[in-house]
Chain A
Amino acid sequence: MNDYFDFEKSIAEMEKMIEKLKSISPDQNHYNDEIAELEKKCALQKQELYGNLTAWQTVQIARHPKRPVLLDYISLVFSDFVELHGDRSFGDDQALIGGFATIGKRRVMLIGHNKGKNVDENIKRNFGQAKPEGYRKALRLMRLAEKYNLPVLCFIDTQGAYPGIEGEERGQPEAIATNLTEMARLEVPIIALITGEGGSGGALAIGVGDSVLMMSHSVYSVISPEGCASILWRDASFSPQAAEALKPTAQSLLALKVIDEIIPEPLGGAHRNYEQTSQEIKRVLLKHLKRLSAFSTSKLLKLRFEKYSAMGLFSD
């Protein structure tokens, strides 16, 4: 059922054994003691492993092919979703989608990258790598949210903005830069959540928020470990070292004050329990929506400016 990584091998073996024992005598109780003991051992080992993941292991979990994508969250966290298409200028980017949505009793504008889970979906969704028209659609929806007085929720999961010739031709950097500038002054609350991969400018272009949150096994980085390794180490096989050096994990970024809160994932990662993951997301988003809705617009903008003014560490 689950796809396992190399570092999960012993857990995979134990889980397989437990299932095998259970299947041998589903009605009788011959192996109950053994099963219980194995389950206990397995749980302990999971605690140990997933509590101490390396940055590179976290990157792999964040990219897990079965990790929930925005469309999963749309059905599990939200209701009454109305997808809105197109940037009104060039086209409709399927790598970045959005629309009206309801969470609990709150109405919001929901925007996010959507990776595919198989080859066909990934071709349609361009692996979650948006082009300029995707970022311009996002901005159009944010302006609509401002007009309708709806908070904006951004779900981020992308390797980065699409680095192709059309992207350059149609102004990928201009689209990103404009979003950063407009989001800084958007007159409704913005909550950004990194659900999987937060890849550089393509993530940040919908990532400027009053609250910035990360799933516990997501990553957020200025460059991919592979890109960093091939530039600084001149060899992409140094990606694990680059991943450690870049400190892209939720725990590191909470300490560096890049993000405000970490949403815990089920043991082993979000892909192991969509339902539980979605409930946690819903709980935390509602908490932040409630907190931010208490601020006047001018207070909100003042706090947002102060938040971003304080980003970074330097000596003076």
Chain B
Amino acid sequence: MPWFIKSKTSEEKRKPVKDDIWVKCGSCNAHVFKEDWFNSLSVCPKCGFHGRLTAYERIGQILDIDTFKEMFGRISPSDPLSFVWTRGSYKDIVKQTQDKTGLNESVVCGIGKIHDIPVSIAVMDFRFFGGSLGSATGEKILLAANYAYEHKIPYIIFSASGGARMQEGTLSLMQMAKTCAGIARLREKKIPYVSVLTDPTTGGVIASYAMVGDVNIAEPGALIGFAGRRVIEQTIRQKLPDNFQTSEYFLEHGFIDLIVERKKLKDTLKNVLQYYNR
């Protein structure tokens, strides 16, 4: 690349630029009418880039109209370590994030229907602390799993997360074990669990519930990986290939079943769930 072209960080590339009328695609830089952008489910009509969705946008796209009933919505973070860093106290920043996003935590849970099939669903929202897995996130994901267990309905998790939440220390690490304990119990009643990996799914989330679906589905081009790219480059002291840690890379290496475009996701989920024969 010539020196006079400023290289974009991967973070900048992924964030579509929005203003009142136009949405600028985060990948090909095309300007798309806002209405067209949303009509195409926040997928760029020019290049097919899948933009990030909020939890409620996702729920609107996946569940049958007016079937969603939110549950466990009051559960929210506390500040178990009284964590303070350069940006301030965890407690204050949680409050600011809640005000900004209208969310109590990084996951929205509830029940609803996918083409008339009742499901328990958990949808992560990257805007809330990078979708990180904190104590309250883990509690909600476990409770939604328990609801599926008790009512014998399929469980679906949409992941979008940078990993465990540092500001809750080892308690956030424990959420990996807690959520997997909930998933493990589903198998004993032979209840389906489908994991959908969206951009990004990394760290403690890919290394817990996101990777152990009966069926693992990913959206195209999503960042999926365990260790951070920089950490790996420092460890092995060489540059990594461009497609490293993408949905496509994970499919190629045998860790996900399917890559599905957003517009086909709802129908694909129905197709998978209809094979649940009990």
Contact = CB atoms under 8 A, between A and B. Distances in A.
Given A174-B255, A176-B207, A315 B232 contact: no
Interface string A156-183: 0000011111011111111011101111
Given A184-B180, A222-B169, A312-B175, A173 B211 contact: yes
Interface string A291-316: 00000000000001100110111111
Interface of B: 74-78, 80-81, 83-87, 134-136, 138-139, 142, 164-166, 168-178, 180-185, 187-188, 203-204, 206-212, 225-228, 231-232, 235-236, 240, 244-245, 253-255
Given A185-B184, A308-B177, A315-B76, A228 B166 contact: yes
Contacts of A144: none
Contacts of B228: 163
A188 to B, nearest CB: 15
A168 B225 contact: yes
Nearest to B202: A173
Q: Is the interface of A mostly helix, strand, loop or mixed?
A: helix
Contact of A311 (B85, B178, B209, B211): B178
26 contacts: A171-B254, A171-B255, A172-B207, A177-B206, A180-B176, A180-B180, A181-B181, A181-B184, A185-B184, A208-B180, A222-B170, A222-B173, A222-B204, A223-B164, A223-B166, A232-B86, A232-B87, A241-B85, A245-B84, A248-B169, A248-B170, A253-B170, A258-B171, A313-B168, A314-B139, A315-B78
Q: Interface centre among B135, B170, B180, B245, by most A CB within 10 Å?
A: B170
A246 interface: yes
A261 to B, nearest CB: 16
B232 A246 contact: no
Interface in A227-282: 227-228, 231-234, 241-242, 245-248, 253, 256, 258
Contacts, number: 199
Nearest to B254: A171
Contact of B178 (A161, A227, A309, A315): A309
B143 to A, nearest CB: 9
A200 B177 CA distance: 12
B124 to A, nearest CB: 16
B253 A164 contact: no
Given A201-B173, A256-B171, A313-B78, A177 B212 contact: yes
Please list the 9 inter-chain residue pairs (A to B) with the smallest Cβ-Cβ separation, ordered nearest first.
A312-B135, A163-B227, A314-B136, A180-B180, A177-B211, A313-B80, A184-B181, A311-B174, A173-B207
Contacts of A220: 170, 173
A313 B209 CA distance: 20
A221 interface: yes
B235 A164 contact: yes
Interface residues of A, number: 57
Contacts of B78: 313-315
Given A163-B227, A204-B177, A233-B86, A316 B75 contact: yes
B208 A180 contact: yes
B188 to A, nearest CB: 7
Contacts of B231: 163, 227
Contacts of B207: 161, 172-173, 176-177, 201, 205
A313 B169 CA distance: 11
A312 B178 contact: yes
B138 A173 contact: no
